[in-house]
Amino acid sequence: ETRVSARVDAIAESATLAVDAKAKALKAEGRPVIGFGAGEPDFATPEPIVRAAQEACADTRNHRYSPAAGLPELREAIATKTARDSDHVVQPSQVLVTNGGKQAVYQTFATLLDPGDEVLLPAPYWTTYPEAISLAGGSAVEIPTDESTGYLVTLEQLEAARTPRTKVLLFNSPSNPTGAVYPPERIAEIGRWAVEHGIWVVTDEIYEHLVYGDARHVSMPVVVPELAERCVVLNGVAKTYAMTGWRIGWMIGPNDVIKAATNLQSHLSSNVANISQRAALEAVSGSLDAVAEMRAAFDRRRRTIVERLSAIPGVNCPEPQGAFYVYPSVKELLGKEIRGTRPRTSAELAEVVLEHAEVAVVPGEAFGTPGYFRMSYALGDEDLAEGVRRMSELLSEAE
Ligand code: PLP
């Protein structure tokens, strides 16, 4: 018996935020911890965006409640940006501005799911999805993938997991935590399969602009237009514009879904802070130059980290094509002795790495696949090199 509801009691602490908090606490004690935990760009929010917010503070229109679904100008700008960036043509009425991508995830599942509805959830998955699904009364049906297939789910796997209760497929490309980017043909295949079986697709495109090499981002409802009436696109400014603290995300979907989700939001949180909405308006209507610069830096760090991690015996690090994470397997290191300990799980190994190398990583347990580390490479080049050097030194002792 707990004093809180069983529903909320079942929610696990966000492992990624917990690792980050622990790393910060050790740092505060004076230990030189290098954090690969947070999914957060190390860049400052671009200056014109900050200026737009400063101006918005002085404008008394922004001191009052505004429409729950978002400022009309912002909804329109998001519709325009969506057509510009992914060729997905939508009306402003199909856009709902939320308090970060996280609220968009919660509201989407709360709006789509009835108790017992199943959501196909390819693993490794972002930690928040299963919590949002169960809080909405649904059940997540995990579909495991691994490094041998580049962490991409196949149509056969989806079909094998489909039941009469399957309502939604959660799709996330580029992926957190693996950095995998689905090729356009696979996206088209999956979209057609969803249409054929009347399955909704919730597609989280928050890393759309962070793709490297030959990879490109394509939006599922664009390659399969018939899907649009059963598709919700999730996005936000956090990753693209280094705006994690501003809390602006959005849902794009059919009008009935957006209307229902707006009703929910009107009781939950009302409008998102107007100052942040004005900043986001500047971000989405401005150029993508700053994003291109950040992408170039991430790409450089991606190559460095893949190369150096791959050189560590027992670490198998596929090269990701998107987002800013690597997801190496550390399975071969489990059960080996390191500094008098014998970690048997990736969670235990992550503890050892934090204690002895003073490097914070998030263990694969947080993403539904033990045996891996998620490491964000959205940190400075020097810290990145030093952190991997320390890890390499420590893990090379394993025997
Ligand atoms: N979706 C994915 C896949 C993410 O990784 C994140 C952030 O880590 C979000 C959505 C939500 O971001 P925010 O709530 O900061 O907008």
Q: What is the pLDDT of residue 38?
A: 83
185 by Cβ neighbours in 10 Å (0-12 / 13-18 / 19+) ranks as exposed
> Residue 315 and residue 309: Cα distance in Å, rounded?
7
Clarify whether residues 298 and 259 are in a common domain: no
Please check whether residue 56 lies inside any domain of the structure. no
Please check whether residue 49 lies inside any domain of the structure. no
Ligand 1 atom closest to Cα of residue 175: 3
Clarify whether residues 104 and 192 are in a common domain: yes
Which residue's alpha carbon is at the smallest distance from atom 12 of ligand 1? Answer: 101
Q: What is the pLDDT of residue 382?
A: 94
Q: Which phi and psi (to 5°) does residue 107 adopt?
A: -65, -35
Q: In what order do the strands lie in the sheet with 373-376?
A: 325-326, 373-376, 362-363
Structure tokens given for 200: 């909704």
Please check whether residue 52 lies inside any domain of the structure. no
Q: What is the pLDDT of residue 1?
A: 72
Clarify whether residues 306 and 261 are in a common domain: no
Clarify whether residues 160 and 15 are in a common domain: no
Please check whether residue 50 lies inside any domain of the structure. no
Pair type for strands 249-252 and 95-98: antiparallel
Q: What is the pLDDT of residue 298?
A: 96
- In what helix (H) or strand (E) does residue 77 lie, and over which residues does it extend? helix 72-86
Clarify whether residues 281 and 299 are in a common domain: no
* Cβ 390 vs Cβ 355: under 8 Å: no
Residues in the chain: 399
Pair type for strands 231-236 and 249-252: antiparallel
pLDDT in tens, the chain (399 residues): 779 998 888 887 777 777 778 888 898 999 999 999 888 888 999 999 999 999 999 999 999 999 999 999 999 999 999 999 999 999 999 999 999 999 999 999 999 999 999 999 999 999 999 999 999 999 999 999 999 999 999 999 999 999 999 999 999 999 999 999 999 999 999 999 999 999 999 999 999 999 999 999 999 999 999 999 999 999 999 999 999 999 999 999 999 999 999 999 999 999 999 999 999 999 999 999 999 999 999 999 999 999 999 999 999 999 999 999 999 999 999 999 999 999 999 999 999 999 999 999 999 999 999 999 999 999 999 999 999 999 999 999 999
Clarify whether residues 159 and 297 are in a common domain: no
Clarify whether residues 243 and 316 are in a common domain: no
Ligand 1 geometric centre to CA of 65 (Å) = 25
**Residues contacting ligand 1 via CB (< 6 Å):** 39, 100-102, 126, 172, 176, 204, 206, 236, 238, 244, 249
Ligand 1 geometric centre to CA of 238 (Å) = 7
Q: Which of 254, 285, 316 is the last residue of a domain?
A: 285
- Can you give the residue range of the structural domain that contains 250? 64-285
Among the listed residues 97, 101, 89, the one whose alpha carbon sits nearest the alpha carbon of residue 40 = 101
DSSP 45: P
User: What global pTM score does this model have?
Assistant: 0.96
Please check whether residue 57 lies inside any domain of the structure. no
Please check whether residue 58 lies inside any domain of the structure. no
Ligand 1 geometric centre to CA of 102 (Å) = 6
Sign of CA dihedral 46, 47, 50, 51: negative
Q: What is the pLDDT of residue 51?
A: 98
Pair type for strands 118-123 and 325-326: unpaired
Clarify whether residues 270 and 347 are in a common domain: no
Q: Which of 231, 254, 285 is the last residue of a domain?
A: 285
What are 257-262's contacts with CB under 8 Å, separation 24+? 257/111, 257/112, 257/232, 258/69, 258/93, 258/94, 258/95, 258/96, 260/111, 261/96, 261/107, 261/108, 261/110, 261/111, 262/68, 262/69, 262/96
Among the listed residues 118, 74, 108, 69, the one whose alpha carbon sits nearest the alpha carbon of residue 269 = 69
Question: Based on the structure, what is the number of domains in the chain?
Answer: 2
Clarify whether residues 216 and 135 are in a common domain: yes
Please check whether residue 120 lies inside any domain of the structure. yes
* Cβ 281 vs Cβ 268: under 8 Å: no
Clarify whether residues 266 and 168 are in a common domain: yes
Pair type for strands 231-236 and 200-204: parallel
DSSP 40: -
The domain spanning residue 387 has which CATH number? 3.90.1150.10
Which residue's alpha carbon is at the smallest distance from atom 10 of ligand 1? Answer: 101
* Cβ 369 vs Cβ 123: under 8 Å: yes
The domain spanning residue 104 has which CATH number? 3.40.640.10
Clarify whether residues 133 and 275 are in a common domain: yes
Clarify whether residues 181 and 307 are in a common domain: no
The radius of gyration of the chain's CA atoms, rounded to the nearest angstrom, is: 21
Q: Which of 264, 285, 306 is the last residue of a domain?
A: 285
Please check whether residue 111 lies inside any domain of the structure. yes
Ligand 1 geometric centre to CA of 108 (Å) = 14
